[in-house]
A and B are shown apart, each in its own frame.
Chain A
Amino acid sequence: MEFSLKGMLNPLLALQQAGKRPHTIQFPFEEKKVAERYRGLHFNDLEACIGCGTCSTICQNEAIDMVEINPGDSENAKPGDSGLRPRVDNGRCCWCALCVEVCPSGSLSLTTHYNYVSEDANSFLWTPGVSNPDGHKELSFVSDTSHSLLDYARVPMRELEGKERIKSFAEVVLGYADEEAKKEAARCIGCSICTEVCPVHMHIPEYISAIEHGNNEDAIRIIYDNNPIGETCGKVCTRRCEEVCPLGARGEAIAIRWLKRYATEKAENAEIIREIVNPDIKPPNGKKVGIIGAGPSGLTVAYYLALRGFDVTIYEAKAKAGGMIMYGIPKYRLPLDSLDKQVEYMQSVGVKIHFNTKVGEQISFTEIEKNHDAVFIGIGYEVPYTIGIDGENLENSIQAVNFLRDINADKHVDIGNRVAVIGGGNVAIDAARVSRRLGAEVTILYRRREEDMPADWEEIEGAKHEGVIIKTQAIPLNVVDDGSGRVKGIRYGNARMVTDEKGGRPRPELIEGDEHILELYTIIGAIGQEADYSFIPEDIKEKIGFKSGRIVTNEWQQTSVPHIFAGGDIVNRTADAISAVADGYKAVKGIEQFIFAK
């Protein structure tokens, strides 16, 4: 081999290059264009998400947990929102997108974003929507309600047709058949958001699951665990639970009320309820509790205290128990025997009811106080406000609560063939629909717009379906006298709506000169009610403490007079049966704590 000096120096020549910049050309990184339904990293629309946790439950890799984005989010969340949001561990995620498929609100989706490099294992924890706030610009895999794993359509409830309805007081809603109930129950995703919103916190997913699996007796037991008038609520509940059902975001909420109705109706009489619920009744503890009013709150207190061994007595002014649900709700919504059955069951476990016993007349408040360790007041709002205009006292100008009470008591009320109902709440709608059943042409006069009516929208639709005319933005001015002291008609004026500059409800403003007379036989006032506290001695009234006409209580429904508790309409502002049950349920704990702490 020939020796070469150049050859010997070559390695050193290579060193020459060591300080130079490389000659390779670095191109800008370009992400590949991905498929239309590509499954990249998650994005969550934080506003649409309600934190139901269905994504977390379904994830087979346990890659999703629910977290607070900011401390206190859970406590400050609005009703129907847990305040939590999903966090994805991208080290575990396999991008199967099952979480997206089952997201009922449609807030969760996958994006085209797939490139993620990090040496920090903790950075794989990714809170969609927070970690990528602009993720909505790169969505790819989104769920579609038309071919979803979830069933967004409710099993329709069969009802009587409008023409059939007004022929009698037969129940309008016909109820689910077994297969219909199971099918509807199977739609539930079991997120429990409804439970949080229900004033009583009923175990909704649990009894729905029992119905789905055909275990109806279990469903009844679960319902009676914290609501002794489940069947009533199954027929007439205001169902805030359904308003927050996640399926309602893009479809129809689970028919929670109808499922409760289905389950409870299966127990046909008090004996069967007793047999199924098989309550654990504690031995008598020697303590006595007096309850004023057999409405939903009073019945609830009585039932659960009786199970706990208390000697409970309800003092009820009327001939039957139930309060406004017995005397204010028409039979076509709540057949009376349904409530009787539930009350009979309560009596069978030890609840004593003294009917036709008006406190302040047949027995004094002081006597009840003296004879019991604690007293619960649940008298409801039964005194109607008057319509307050000239002619309101003419013959055949009547009050809806009195009218509904008389009709439910099978009394004859002559309303003639033309009726106007004044008001826009559920009582007004009930009075109107009852009047239709008595054969009258009915017009509701309401001062505001239809969307402002406090009545349940289903009841409004029901009234219209039955031929009730709803005249909105109509202000009653005076009742017209026929010259003999009877109602001849009502003079009303049309109104325009004016925005309240301070953010309140838009107000109706009378349009001057735009006045009309509606000829009538009967006017029914249904503008609201208040309580009658006249039975409470003045010194107790002074001590109890009222605010805006309602009794002030603590979280256990205890007033500032320690042995007196209160609940229902006279305490809360929601004016519905389920809130009254909730008050009663809380009072049970309050009364127990008070008596045994003495």
Chain B
Amino acid sequence: MNTDNIQSLEQAIQFAIERETEAEQMYQKLIRLAEDPKAKELFQELRDMEAQHRQNLQTLDVTGFKEKHNQERVYNMHIADYLIDKKIDDVRTYQEGLMLAARREQMAYQYYSLLAEIYRDNPGLFEFFSVMAREERSHQNDMEKVYDETVFLYN
């Protein structure tokens, strides 16, 4: 499904599920390729996280959706802004894996933010994509925090 076909909240959710599934499959592939135990462990965690996101979307209560919108401020450390954009085929190590994950979450945030803007006139879709953008920003922050606590331990 591409964004042109989205007419309803259900379709929007289906679109998001497909993105989470793609991410899950990507990390599954990296688990297979990684030789470093720390990287393998990271990819397993990331795969499970994406699977959880997918399940959350699959069981999302559309009617109660708006009330669940989290209004907490999401912190942004801006670490991903300056990290090298790693391609999947170049990723093998723990650091590269985290760099990829942080950048992907950042790009997802930007993507959903853009979709929210595109569907500003449709309150249901605007709300959904805004929430998804916020979720992805929160995940970016989680990745940056891990990067800060591990790779940047001495920085």
- Using a CB–CB cutoff of 8 Å, the interface residues on chain A facing chain B are 385-386, 388-390, 392, 422-425, 427-428, 446-447, 454, 475-478, 498, 504-505, 507-510, 526-528, 530, 533-534, 538, 541, 546-549
A-B contact pairs, 7 of them (CB 8 A): A385-B95, A427-B154, A428-B154, A527-B151, A528-B155, A546-B37, A549-B94
**Contact at A388–B95, with CB atoms within 8 Å?**
yes
Q: How many Å lie between the Cα of A476 and that of B148 in the bound state? A: 14
**Contact at B155–A527, with CB atoms within 8 Å?**
yes
Determine the residue in chain B with the shortest Cβ distance to A389.
B82
Q: How many Å lie between the Cα of A578 and that of B37 in the bound state? A: 26
**Contact at A533–B152, with CB atoms within 8 Å?**
no
Q: Which residues of B contact A541 (CB under 8 A)?
A: 37
B145 smallest CB distance to A (angstroms): 8
Q: How many Å lie between the Cα of A124 and that of B155 in the bound state? A: 57
B71 smallest CB distance to A (angstroms): 15
Interface residues of B in 57-93 (CB under 8 A from A): 75, 77-78, 81-84, 93
Given contacts A385-B95, A388-B84, A510-B78, contact A528 B149 (CB under 8 A): no
Given contacts A388-B95, A509-B77, A549-B94, contact A424 B37 (CB under 8 A): no
Question: What are the 4 tightest A-B residue pairs by CB atom distance, in nearest-first order?
Answer: A549-B38, A425-B154, A546-B37, A527-B155
Determine the residue in chain B with the shortest Cβ distance to A388.
B83
B48 smallest CB distance to A (angstroms): 16
Given contacts A385-B95, A388-B84, A388-B99, contact A526 B38 (CB under 8 A): no
Q: Which residues of A contact B150 (CB under 8 A)?
A: 528, 548
Interface flag for B10 (CB, 8 Å): no
Q: Which residues of A contact B152 (CB under 8 A)?
A: 447, 527-528
**Contact at B41–A528, with CB atoms within 8 Å?**
no
Q: How many Å lie between the Cα of A511 and that of B9 in the bound state? A: 38
Given contacts A385-B95, A507-B148, A549-B38, contact A527 B154 (CB under 8 A): yes
Q: Which residues of B contact A508 (CB under 8 A)?
A: 77
Q: Which residues of A contact B41 (CB under 8 A)?
A: 546-549
Q: Which residues of A contact B37 (CB under 8 A)?
A: 533, 541, 546, 549
Q: Which residues of A contact B153 (CB under 8 A)?
A: 425, 454, 527-528
**Contact at A386–B95, with CB atoms within 8 Å?**
yes
CB < 8 Å: which of B36, B38, B75, B84 contacts A389?
A: B84
Q: Which residues of A contact B148 (CB under 8 A)?
A: 505, 507
